Homo-oligomer: A and B are copies of this chain.
Amino acid sequence: MDSGETTMTFTGKQLTTQLDADGTLTLQLNDKTWDAPKAGQVLIKVEATPINPSDLGLLFASADTDNAEYTPGKIVAKMPDNATRAMKARHGLAMPAGNEAAGIVVAAGEGAEHLLGKRIACVPGTAYATYAVADTQMAFAVDDSVTAEQAASSFVNPMTALGFVETMKMEGFTGIVHAAAASNLGQMLVKICQEDGIPLVNVVRSDAQVKLLKDLGATHVLNMTDADYMPKLIDAIAETKAMIGFDPIGGGTVASQFLTAMEAAASRGAAFSRYGSSEAKKVYIYGALDLGPTILNRAFGLTWDLGGWLLTPFMMKAGPEVVGRMRARVMKDLTTTFASHYKAHVTLEGMLTKEAVSEYNARRTGEKYLVTPQA
């Protein structure tokens, strides 16, 4: 590592993922040099960075990782043709990855000097690396008592879960339906809604997940693979008035089922109307666990909305006061409500092994990996 007033640079490794026009996907570790950060930015030495579903979309998308070629520090896999075509904009680009991280600030740009030497939680988008640059707007310093592991997932999931509740309030709704609700994020949402007295309908896909959330004290937990899922969903929405939904699955009929059940709950006992109920119903898709198309049966009248939800634009819309309040709450409850759990820790090299990929890329509940580049 070189350092100095004017020529301070830092060297290390950075993971990139590159999709070529012929469908070849290459993940590899490259040597990389970081310069001093610009105004409003900091450079962190990355201590810990989780592998979230949103990272997997960039790292692997729908590539065939079972039959990929694994060598130390490198993976070469084949992407299906339709996915290769759909991602034309990234052909030939070696893209860094890793949404969020905890790390120690080793260099600070103008206006960020107060963070120098501190451990921060941040969203560099390039965290699978020895160092990473982060915007201070998407970062906060953590207390001295907070470990890197605790801080690593303290931005995206906690702020997203709190963001759902803020979105619900901003749009005038009073209860939430959540799909894939047994995720780390979903467990946080269960706790937030309990604390705030907000009705929450959790939708999961196995009895084990039902038990997991019931054990956390959740009231409404439905297994979408049950034969009577739809009537139960209608009942739960009728009881809770949960007319806003959040769906990280995206593909298939999850959002359509939410809107259909909201419509059925809203028009329960009402006279038939060819245009459906006039009560607002909204579902946000915030992920793509299923990369297939979204199928809407439109059996929910004409008063409905479906949209995409993403943390950064939400934070810009919500404004600094709301975001500051959310951030303070995350810090306060980081080891309780907002604690994340990891199945395993891996190094940058370790995350490129077949054993690791086969586990974390399966996107199974409770099998999240944490990358620790300095280990």
Contact = CB atoms under 8 A, between A and B. Distances in A.
**Residue of A90, A256, A275, A278 with most partner-chain B CB within 10 A:** A275
A305 B305 contact: yes
Interface string A285-315: 1101000011111111111111111101100
A267 interface: yes
A89 B298 contact: no
A12 interface: no
A37 to B, nearest CB: 19
Interface in A94-108: 95
Contacts of A305: 305-308
A1 interface: no
A44 B213 CA distance: 59
Q: How many copies does the complex hold?
A: 2
A250 to B, nearest CB: 6
Contact of A298 (B275, B285, B297, B309): B285
Indicate the size class of the contact surface on chain A.
35 or more
Interface in A211-265: 250-251, 256
A123 to B, nearest CB: 12
A109 interface: no
Given A293-B297, A298-B250, A272 B89 contact: yes
A90 B278 CA distance: 17
Contact of A57 (B256, B274, B293, B295): B274
Contact of A93 (B54, B93, B95, B272): B272
A298 B302 contact: no
A375 interface: no
A58 interface: yes
A302 B306 contact: no
A86 interface: yes
Contacts of A275: 310, 312
Contacts of A294: 295-296, 298
Interface string A147-184: 00000000000000000000000000000000000000
A209 to B, nearest CB: 25
Contacts of A278: 312-313
A58 B272 CA distance: 11
Contacts of A288: 298
B295 A302 contact: no
A352 to B, nearest CB: 20
A117 B293 CA distance: 55
A308 B303 contact: yes
Contact of A302 (B58, B89, B286): B286
Return the 4 tightest CB-CB contacts between A and B, nearest first.
A302-B308, A305-B307, A294-B296, A302-B310
Given A54-B274, A285-B298, 6 more contacts: A275-B310, A278-B312, A286-B302, A302-B310, A304-B308, A305-B308
29 contacts: A54-B274, A58-B274, A86-B299, A89-B267, A89-B272, A90-B272, A95-B272, A251-B298, A275-B310, A275-B312, A276-B308, A278-B312, A278-B313, A285-B298, A288-B298, A293-B295, A293-B297, A293-B298, A294-B295, A294-B298, A301-B308, A302-B309, A302-B310, A303-B310, A304-B307, A305-B305, A305-B306, A305-B308, A306-B307
